[in-house]
Amino acid sequence: MERIKKTDSRKVLQTKNRIKEVFLELCAEKPLDKISIKELTALAQINRSTFYAHFHDIYDLKDQVAADFSRTMRERIFPVIIDIASGVDFTENSYQIIDVYEQYRTFFRAFLLTNRDEQLVDSVKETARETLLQRFAGMGVEPPQHLEYMLEYLLGAQLALLARWVGEPEPPPVEELVALVKRLNFQGPVHCLFGV
């Protein structure tokens, strides 16, 4: 009986993931309000009833996809970025960032370009803020003055850079993008532009 449950739950997870993948592909190509359940289920090769067993509607699906992304950022990316900022070797940690950039490339194209979602952008910023505040508290350190401005500058720039990268027909390899982000973050944009 337990084996059947594990198999069933694995199939359910595979089905949900397939629906999410197809949804992201569609979102990267057209506005959210132009995506129908009929089109989505046909491309995912599932019945409409299967879709509705997992999601209420397209917007519920979008919310779940966004929640998955936020969880990944909170668990995998922000801790790495904080470690790098604390002096941990960038090269060693950059592979985790590269992996997430590659894994979420379609997501970035869908929600930073085609269906720009300011609520999602704000959610990412809030997740980063919470992660940083927890780190400061854990270290017994007061957050720096003007933290909100610093985060807005850093995260706004990072997200704009990602949007540019996923929007280009022939973007640079992700390794180059990560190296550029490192230079911009540690040397500053003015230094990178003018060498001053």
In a domain, 159, yes or no: yes
In a domain, 156, yes or no: yes
pLDDT in tens, 64-117: 999 998 888 888 887 877 776 676 776 667 777 778 888 888 998 898 888 888
Q: How many other CB atoms are there within 10 angstroms of residue 82's CB atom? A: 16
**Element counts in the chain: helices (H) and strands (E):** 11, 0
Structure confidence at residue 36 (pLDDT): 96
In a domain, 16, yes or no: no
In a domain, 120, yes or no: yes
Structure confidence at residue 37 (pLDDT): 96
Q: Which domain holds residue 137?
A: 59-194
First to last CA, the chain: 68
In a domain, 98, yes or no: yes
Mean pLDDT of all residues in the chain? Answer: 86
In a domain, 67, yes or no: yes
Within its chain, how far is the Cα of 172 from the centroid? Answer: 19
Q: How many domains does the chain have?
A: 1
In a domain, 49, yes or no: no
When comparing pLDDT for 20 and 76, which is higher? 20
pLDDT band at 8 (very low <50, low <70, confident <90, very high): low
Q: How many other CB atoms are there within 10 angstroms of residue 159's CB atom? A: 16
pLDDT in tens, 142-166: 988 998 898 889 888 888 888 898 8
In a domain, 110, yes or no: yes
**Percent of all residues in the chain with a pLDDT value above 70, rounded to a whole number:** 92
Q: What is the pTM of this model?
A: 0.78
Structure confidence at residue 1 (pLDDT): 43
